[in-house]
Amino acid sequence: MANKIPRVPVREQDPTIRATNFEEVCYGYNLEEAQLEASRCLDCKNPRCVGACPVGLQIPRFIAALHEGNLKQAASIIAEDSSLPSICGRVCPQESQCEGACILGIKGEPVAIGKIERFIGDWKLEHSDEVAADVAPQRGHRVAVVGSGPSGLACASDLAKWGYEVTVFEALHELGGVLVYGIPEFRLPKERIVAREIHEVEKLGVKFEKDVIVGRTVTIDSLLDEEGFDAVFIGSGAGLPRFMGIEGENLNGVVSANEFLTRTNLMHAYDNSFDTPIYVGKRVVVVGGGNVAMDAVRTAKRLGAESVIVYRRSEKELPARVEEVHHAKEEGIEFRMLTNPIAVLGNEQGWVTGIRCVEMELGEPDESGRRSPVVKADSEFEMACDVVIMALGTSPNPLIASTTEGLETNRRGCITASEEGQTTREGVFAGGDAVTGAATVILAMGAGRKAARAIDQYLSQKA
């Protein structure tokens, strides 16, 4: 029986070594391992994994193709629904999506769908000449995509495949959005994976223009009225980092996770051949429990600091991917759960010297269903540190909404859009973090694809 085989373990860089470098943590499967793992799939009649995937990847089909040794076919099956398998295989929270729904997971371990997807994606990058994508003939409509992150790339590649002329505008000097400024090299290699997967999107005919800040360099209206685009997709991503509003937060040494990660990832502060300065100190406290917090704390560790996570709920509530928490622990990250900062402490020169915290305990569940933390009486204590990194999420960037008349936002400042991505302006669609607030790569891709379908429908009717 296929499911008697245990889940094939994946090879990883030794934790003590990798905690000192920026090389990728996980080596991934080789062909033999991937095929062995593929043999565990039951090929269910009603595959629950497909329904649990935000982009609806035909999981049993590509696993079967791999099992039969038909890699080209496996890659083509994935390409029908996703242009970024090497990225998604690495950063999706599979445990709460495809693998979380896998029947094998009920009694044992689910099929390692993410690792298989990654293997096929990486194979495709190596053999990209052999797998040509189907691109429909040009339809004579131009679409502008704002942002080259996951939602923009997903939207752009679908539209390009359907024959639309697509230009993606990126504000920064590198393409990829959060894939390059946010997610660290050791989790998602930039040149080997991100740049090449984006190059695949380019090969579909998508044009990219960097250093264009929509809302400043151009506006949504100027794209539609002056530059001749027939529709716009806004995938501008998350925005301004949140801070706690506690005393001492503007001391030197307090940074947002976005700043810390942007300096290391986009600006390569860990690489001496780049000019970017970074301040790490000897001991770093990262406040938060999401993927961004894990990325920041593991980055600080790699830059040589003793690194601690401070999170106000318990470990069970950590929103980060299970694998990231596991990896962080292996690398020697200290976890201080049920702890909440109430002030950042500093010296006379205005530099951070520590953080004052209170202990928390879990009370009644809140609106998110998680038990909300309440302060334990008389539990105040201080921790010494040189750097405090706030990883508390983001609030929307106002640039586009404030410069586009008729584009409504909700009370949190996110762009209002329907399930299909239609905004309150005709011809203007949106998806990803700009609409939902900070979420995941794959949800953003899902939103980009839905918006692509809506744009196709809109332009087909218009024509």
Partner 1 sequence: MFTILEKQLLAENIYLMKVEAPRVARAALPGQFVIVRADQVGERIPLTIADFDAAAGSVTIVIQTLGVSTRKICTLEAGDQLADFAGPLGRPSEFVHEPVEELRKRRYIFIGGGVGTAPVYPQVKWLKEQGVEVDVIIGAKNKDMLIYTAEMEQVASHLYITTDDGSAGSQGLVTTKLEELIAAGNHYDECVAIGPMIMMKFVALTTKKYNLKTTVSLNALMVDGTGMCGACRVTVAGKTRFTCVEGPEFDAHEVDFDEAMRRQGMYRTQEQRALAIHAEHEAGHQCRIGLDK
Q: Is 368 in the site for partner 1 (CB under 8 A)?
A: no
CB atoms near residue 382 (< 10 Å): 12
Among 15, 56, 100, 241, binds partner 1 (CB under 8 A): 241
Of 133 and 172, nearer to partner 1 (C-beta) is: 172
The residues, any chain, with a CB within 8 Å of residue 184's CB and separated by 6 or more, are 22, 261, 264, 265, 295, 298, 299
Tell me, residue by residue from 2 to 31, as one string, x for binding to partner 1 by CB under 8 A and - for no binding.
Answer: ------------------------------
Taking alpha carbons only, the member of 323, 265, 308 closest to residue 26 is: 323
Toward partner 1, which CB reaches closer, 26 or 254? 254
Instruction: Name which of 289, 70, 295, 94 is nearest 178 in CA terms.
Output: 295
CA 300 to chain centre: 19
H-run or E-run covering 384: strand 381-384
Q: How far is the CB of 101 from partner 1 (least distance, A)?
A: 34
Q: What are phi and psi of 123, to 5 degrees?
A: -60, -40
| Residue in 246, 463, 284 with CA at minimum distance from that of residue 384 | 284
Instruction: Kindly state whether residue 267 participates in binding partner 1, applying the rule CB under 8 A.
Output: yes
* Among 212, 388, 389, 434, interactor with partner 1 by CB under 8 A: 212
Q: In angstroms, what is the minimal distance from the CB of 72 to partner 1?
A: 35
Q: Which residue has the tokens 């062909």?
A: 31
Site for partner 1 contains 398 (CB under 8 A): yes
Dihedral angle, C-alpha 197, 198, 200, 204, nearest 10 °: 150
Query: Which 399-458 positions form the footprint of partner 1 (CB under 8 A)?
Result: 399
Among 44, 172, 343, 375, binds partner 1 (CB under 8 A): 172
Give the shortest CB-236-to-partner 1 separation in angstroms: 9
**Closest to partner 1 by CB, 100 or 413:** 413
- Give the one residue of 42, 58, 279, 317 binding partner 1; rule: CB under 8 A: 279
* Under rule CB under 8 A, residue 278 binds partner 1: yes
Of the candidate residues 6, 46, 129, 273, the single one contacting partner 1 (CB under 8 A) = 273
Q: Quick one: which of 83, 97, 256, 404 contacts partner 1 (CB under 8 A)?
A: 256
Task: Please tell me the distance from the alpha carbon of residue 220 to that of residue 235, in angstroms, as a whole number.
Answer: 12
Measured between alpha carbons, how far is 29 from 12 in angstroms, rounded to an integer? 10
Kindly state the smallest distance separating residue 217's Cβ from partner 1, in Å: 5
65 or 352: CB nearest partner 1: 352
SS3 string of 311-338?
CCCCHHHCCCCHHHHHHHHHCCCEEECC
Length, in residues, of the chain: 463
For residue 313, give both structure tokens: 């709920």
Work out whether 274 is an interface residue with partner 1 (CB under 8 A). Answer: yes
Ramachandran assignment for 460, one of left (phi > 0), alpha (psi -120 to 50 degrees), beta (any other)? alpha
Using rule CB under 8 A, residue 91 touches partner 1 = no
CB of 91 to partner 1, least distance (A): 19
Q: Which stretch binds partner 1 (CB under 8 A): 5-13, 214-222, 424-432, 437-445?
A: 214-222
Residues that bind partner 1 (CB under 8 A): 171-173, 181, 210-213, 216-218, 239-241, 243, 249-250, 252-253, 255-256, 258-259, 262-263, 266-268, 272-279, 349-350, 397-399
